[in-house]
Amino acid sequence: MKRFNVSEDFWDLGKLEMGTIVYDVTDIEAFGSFRSIIMRGPMAWCCYIGIPLDHSLANKSYEDDIFNPFHCHGGLTFAGGGDDVYLPSGWFFYGWDYGHAGDYAHYGSSSRASGKKWTFGELKKEIKESLKDFRDVIGKYIVLDGPKPILKRDYKKKRLIRIDKA
């Protein structure tokens, strides 16, 4: 995995190789660890939020209803484990990209040359906001030892509801 330090106003992906990580932060909290990564994707910036592989919400599809309340730029477009080539192993990542309509095209398409040029500083702010939202989504689920049923807190009825078996 390649790593590179960039300034807050950096935006030109053409100066980085695909897979270069420019931001990698791990937060350890009461209900789990989260890893935030910003990297150069094949055609656009990509952001990822990771949870440990043994978390019962790892290996879910990014289209799973559990993630409906989660918001990020363009919606989730990736779910997968780290491979130590692009993303670190030991983590399951949910990700999104900045290659949508209205975003600047980093691959020579003149039709999108006038789109939004996302800077590293803006991406860092976005991933921190998305991480807060992701924590709220994940924090509503409690994982028990054993066969790892997934329970959702129902705050109105003040009880736990079993929603899935991992």
Q: What is the DSSP string of 28-82?
A: EETTEEEEEEEEE-SSSEEEEEEEETTSTTTT--TTSGGGTT---TT---EEEE-
Residue with tokens 């997968």: 80
Q: How confident is the model at residue 108 (pLDDT cuts 50, 70, 90)?
A: low
pLDDT tens digits, 14-39: 788 889 999 999 987 655 688 999 99
What pLDDT does residue 94 have? 96
pLDDT tens digits, 48-106: 999 999 887 889 999 988 887 788 999 999 999 999 999 999 999 999 999 888 888 77
Pairing of the two strands 149-154 and 32-40: unpaired
CB 119 within 8 A of CB 23: no
Question: What is d(CA 32, CA 40) in angstroms, rounded to the nearest whole number?
Answer: 27
Question: What is d(CA 134, CA 148) in angstroms, rounded to the nearest whole number?
Answer: 20
pLDDT tens digits, 111-155: 556 788 899 999 999 999 999 888 877 766 655 444 555 666 666
